[in-house]
Amino acid sequence: MLKDITIGQYFPGNSIIHRLDPRFKLVITLLFIIMLFSGGNAVCLGIGAVYTAAVLLLSGIPLKMYWKSVKPLLPFLIITACLNLMFVRSGEVLWEWKALKITDAGLNISLFMIIRIVLLIMGSSVLTYTTSPITLTDAIERLLSPLKKLKFPVHELAMMMSIALRFIPTLIEETDKIMSAQKARGAEIDSGSFGQRAKNLAAILVPLFVSAFRRADELATAMECRCYHGGKGRTRLRQMKAAPRDYIALFITIIFLAAVIAAGRMF
Amino acid sequence: MSDIIKIEGLHFHYTSPDGSSTDEVLKGIDLTVKQGEFVAVLGHNGSGKSTLAKHINAILLPTEGKVTVDGIDTADESRIFELRQTAGMVFQNPDNQIVSSVVEEDVAFALENLGVPYEEMRERVDDALKTVGMYDLRLHSPSQLSGGQKQRVAIAGVLAMCPKCLILDESTAMLDPQGRKEVLATVRHMNREQGMTVILITHYMDEAAGCDRVVVMDGGSIIMDGTPEKVFSQVERLKEAGLDVPQVTELAYELRKAGYDISPEIINGEECADALAELLSS
């Protein structure tokens, strides 16, 4: 049952988006977020929507998947939109009933916010859908490597992250085993009241933590045996080389960003 | 052939946090291993065999005595990376020694740490993967592999360092029979083809039967040392140390006890079949 969990939701593929250098993808995603929030009118949002749609289509991943990434957040979006609608008092009043007032400014703000957030989630899903978590971690390490000069532990954080990713399937398998073992001893994990189930969770978590610590200890020894001594002087098997297509993608994104900023000034 | 591992008068005891020393785990070990030898170290739980293995690549340092590997004193901290490249160690649980989420990157881990340039790294990683027969699965995630395959990846990770000596610390204990076979065949191949010195720590007697030399430990000392035939023929002493002999050796032993004329130095099925056929025809 736990085996169905996929963390990071990566969909292997060979689209042009998949093949982009992950470092560029990260920077482009950042620019994309700036793009969505830098212009305040319909034209700006329209440009952002066109950009998002193009990237979504190019990624070669079923659009259903992108809808799935938005769906869980819809209730929150609708609630915030309603609050905006009711509490924004400026602008022309469109509809009024006792203390409730809906203005055109409020309507604008709510609509824009919904569209922005939906575009934001879909657009940034492209990054996690087309890049494996381990590659992403690697790209973050490389992008942040200038921070090493400021004594920021970039390598250490990336190493922790990648070990965590490596051990997710191992620990899921272990949890499954512990659950079966505890069920065989009569622990009620799937039934009983909520409080009872929460209490029984300890029967799973305690052995899981004990074993995780033991694993960590053994892993540390194994790493030492393979001459691990921090990030100093390390070379990498995974090479990241920027190709012309990466620069082109970055260039296109910058043009879109510029267009959004220009549209924000003009209209 | 030259000696690769020299252990002289090795004593070891763990020190508890309050400074008082606890029981001695190793009580005066003297052992020399020649380049290219395939040595099995046998012993039941708590005999000190794993502790001994951990001294060979300086995970533990002797309380007393000296361990030298290819001329490097394990207590010499300035040469520790050199030492760990010379003597590679593979542990029991493959899951707890694989660092990366991609097979080939895990094999490259040691080389990355040592700062080997990309082209050379690529070549050594591919060679190591081919040696253990995992080249085709190099882009897989370790979680998709079987136990035996994972352990072969762990071996490849050590092999990539081009060690002269490979130490397997109960590396087959958690594997199914198929996985054990795979791992042992890989190790044997490296020993024969590349002259790699192998130290196999195990409690499986049949694994030890295929080695050049068997060292038996009990209570922190070496109690027997010799060819598998010589060691396994001493059935009673082995039983005293809490060990079993291979089934065929036991059969020959029981037959001799019952008065039949059969060689005590039988360690594998074929030898046993031949001896039995001879016994029946006479």
Per-residue pLDDT, averaged over B261-276, amounts to: 84
Contact state of B101 with A165 under an 8 Å Cβ cutoff: yes
Tokens 């080997």 map to which residue?
Answer: B116
Nearest CA-CA distance, residue A113 and chain B, Å: 38
Interface contact A165, partner B, CB < 8 A: yes
Instruction: Give the residue from chain A lying closest to B80, CA to CA.
Output: A227
Give one DSSP letter per residue of chain B, joined into a string: --EEEEEEEEEEEEE-TTS-EEEEEEEEEEEEEETT-EEEEE--TTSSHHHHHHHHTTSS--SEEEEEETTEETT-GGGHHHHHHHEEEE-S-GGGT--SSSHHHHHHHHHHHTT--HHHHHHHHHHHHHHTT-GGGTTS-GGGS-HHHHHHHHHHHHHTT--SEEEEESTTTTS-HHHHHHHHHHHHHHHHHH--EEEEEES-HHHHHTSSEEEEEETTEEEEEE-HHHHHT-HHHHHHTT-PPPHHHHHHHHHHHTT----S---SHHHHHHHHHHHHH-
Contact state of B113 with A162 under an 8 Å Cβ cutoff: no
Contact state of B100 with A169 under an 8 Å Cβ cutoff: no
Contacts with A237 from chain B: Cβ below 8 Å: 104-105, 108, 111-112, 118, 121-122, 125
Tell me the C-alpha distance between B80 and A77, whole Å. 58
Q: What ipTM is given for this predicted complex?
A: 0.87
Instruction: Give the residue from chain B lying closest to A212, CA to CA.
Output: B96
A100 CA to centre of own chain: 37
Per-residue pLDDT, averaged over B19-24, amounts to: 72
The answer to whether the Cα torsion of B96, B98, B102, B103 is positive or negative is negative
Residue B165 has pLDDT above 90, yes or no: yes
Count of all residues that appear for chain A in the document: 267
Tell me the C-alpha distance between B52 and B217, whole Å. 10
To which H or E segment does residue A94 belong?
Answer: strand A93-97
Interface contact A185, partner B, CB < 8 A: no
- Summarised one tens digit per residue, pLDDT across range B103-114 is 999 999 999 999
Beta bridge partners of B217: B222
Beta bridge partners of B3: B34
Q: What is the pLDDT of residue B182?
A: 87
Interface contact A215, partner B, CB < 8 A: yes
Nearest CA to B232 out of B217, B218, B248 is that of B248
**Which residue numbers of B have CB closer than 8 Å to A's CBs?**
57, 59, 81, 84-85, 88-89, 91, 93, 95-102, 104-105, 108-118, 121-122, 125, 141-143, 154, 157-158, 161
CB B83 within 8 A of CB B68: no
Structure tokens at B98: 């694989």
pTM here is 0.82
Q: What is the pLDDT of residue A4?
A: 44
Q: What is the pLDDT of residue B82?
A: 92
Contacts with A158 from chain B: Cβ below 8 Å: none
* Structural domains in chain B, sorted by start: 3-245 (3.40.50.300)
C-alpha distances in Å from residue A157, one per residue of A26, A145, A149, A161? 17, 11, 15, 6
A176 CA to centre of own chain: 26
Contacts with A173 from chain B: Cβ below 8 Å: 143
Residue B162 has pLDDT above 70, yes or no: yes
Contact state of A237 with B115 under an 8 Å Cβ cutoff: no
Predicted confidence pLDDT, tens digits, chain A (267 residues): 444 444 457 888 889 999 999 999 999 999 999 999 887 788 999 999 999 999 999 999 899 888 888 888 889 999 988 888 888 877 778 777 777 778 888 888 888 889 999 999 999 899 988 988 888 888 999 999 899 889 899 999 999 989 998 898 889 989 999 999 988 888 777 777 778 777 788 888 999 999 999 999 999 999 999 999 888 888 888 888 889 999 999 999 999 999 999 998 887
Q: What is the pLDDT of residue A267?
A: 77
The contacts found for B238-244 with CB under 8 angstroms, 24 or more apart, are B241/B43, B241/B44, B241/B47, B241/B216, B242/B44, B242/B47, B242/B218, B243/B42, B243/B43, B243/B44, B243/B203, B243/B205, B243/B216, B244/B205
Mean pLDDT, rounded, of chain B: 89
Tokens 């253990």 map to which residue?
Answer: B132
CB B50 within 8 A of CB A215: no
To which H or E segment does residue A102 belong?
Answer: strand A100-103
Domain ranges of chain A: 1-155+241-267, 165-229
Residue B88 has pLDDT above 90, yes or no: yes
A173, A219, A235: residue with CB nearest B97: A219
Q: What is the pLDDT of residue A6?
A: 44
Helix axes B147-159, B103-113, angle to 10 degrees: 30
Tell me the C-alpha distance between B139 and A57, whole Å. 27
Tell me the C-alpha distance between B202 and B209, whole Å. 11
B125, B143, B157: residue with CB nearest A170: B143
A162, A222, A228: residue with CB nearest B101: A162
Q: What is the pLDDT of residue A53?
A: 95
Contact state of A237 with B85 under an 8 Å Cβ cutoff: no
B64 CA to centre of own chain: 24
* Pairing of the two strands B3-15 and B64-69: antiparallel
Nearest CA to B109 out of A178, A224, A48, A154 is that of A224
Residue B58 has pLDDT above 70, yes or no: yes
Residue B69 has pLDDT above 60, yes or no: yes
Instruction: Give the residue from chain A lying closest to B104, CA to CA.
Output: A237
Tell me the C-alpha distance between B187 and B191, whole Å. 6
Task: Indicate which of A170, A227, A236, A241 best probes the interface with B, i.e. most B CBs within 10 Å of its own CB.
Answer: A227
Tell me the C-alpha distance between A149 and A122, whole Å. 35
Nearest CA to A121 out of A73, A89, A61, A87 is that of A73
Instruction: Give the residue from chain A lying closest to B103, CA to CA.
Output: A166
Contact state of A169 with B109 under an 8 Å Cβ cutoff: no
A173, A222, A235: residue with CB nearest B121: A235
A109 CA to centre of own chain: 25
- For chain A, counts of helices (H) and of strands (E): 11, 2
Count of beta carbons in the 10 Å neighbourhood of residue A176: 13
Q: What is the pLDDT of residue B1?
A: 65
Contact state of B84 with A227 under an 8 Å Cβ cutoff: yes
Tell me the C-alpha distance between B156 and B63, whole Å. 32
Contact state of A226 with B110 under an 8 Å Cβ cutoff: yes
Beta-carbon pairs below 8 A across chains A and B: 91
Tokens 């508890």 map to which residue?
Answer: B16
Tell which A residues from 116 to 145 touch B, by Cβ distance under 8 Å.
132-134
Task: Indicate which of B54, B61, B81, B95 best probes the interface with A, i.e. most A CBs within 10 Å of its own CB.
Answer: B95
B97, B111, B116: residue with CB nearest A218: B97
- pLDDT bracket for residue B271 (50, 70, 90): confident
Return phi, psi of residue A99, to 5°: -85, -15
